[in-house]
Structure 1
Amino acid sequence: MSAMPELHLSQSFKLAQRAFAVLLDTAHFDASLAMAARVRIAALDKLDLGRLVRWLAWQARVRNPQALARIERVDLRLAAGVLHARAQLPADGRPALSGSPRRTA
């Protein structure tokens, strides 16, 4: 048994994540996929929307160059949140330590 708490993701978050993954992976923009992603966004609560924004920020960094443009075509407010969250990501991909590291347990 692990001491780390398990992250429980809602079904609506998983479906939204899946819809955006398909949208970002396709070779060409497809309006029907964008509509499906838009429908999935409507089902999210604030917590799940925040999780989706952070996930999309990472995806916009590592996936195809048009990822942010595709997110903008789905929802402008979501794209603005992704742009803000992407600016908060570490430059080298590793989270920065806040302050000095603890020396004791």
Structure 2
Amino acid sequence: MSQSFKLAQRAFATLLDRAQFDASQALAARGTLAALDRVDAGRLSRWLAWQSHVRNPQALTRIERVDQRLAAGVVHARARLPVGGRPAVSGTPRRTA
């Protein structure tokens, strides 16, 4: 993973972990988005989809307040998450490795 992705991940984790919304942290998280390429931006939206699924209920709202385009990507990625948080088994599971 790239350094810019790690910085963005760290900034958004801090933003999502807070009890209340902090505008300065939202600005810091927004600043990390400019350094991401398309692959890292997609990776971040998938990671944020999982985080918004398992963290506080305000996570998606906080992401929307930072960046609308990123929030739309998170909503799209969240729709593709497995039901119940576990991957669905397709077909008959293999019995050997």
Specify which of 32, 52, 60 is matched with residue 68 of structure 1: 60
Compute the RMSD of aligned alpha carbons.
1.4
Question: Given the two structures, how large is their TM-score scaled by the length of structure 1?
Answer: 0.85
Question: What residue in structure 2 maps to residue 83 of structure 1?
Answer: 75
Specify which of 37, 41, 57 is matched with residue 29 of structure 2: 37
Question: What residue in structure 1 maps to residue 5 of structure 2?
Answer: 13
Question: What residue in structure 1 maps to residue 16 of structure 2?
Answer: 24
Question: What residue in structure 2 maps to residue 56 of structure 1?
Answer: 48
- Segments of structure 1 that go 5 or more residues without pairing to the other structure are 1-8
- Segments of structure 2 that go 5 or more residues without pairing to the other structure are none
Larger Cα Rg: Structure 1 or Structure 2? 1
Structure with the higher fraction of residues in helix conformation: 2
Percent identity of equivalent pairs: 76
How many pairs does the alignment contain? Answer: 97
The 1-side partners of 2:33 and 2:88 are apart by 30
Question: Given the two structures, how large is their TM-score scaled by the length of structure 2?
Answer: 0.92
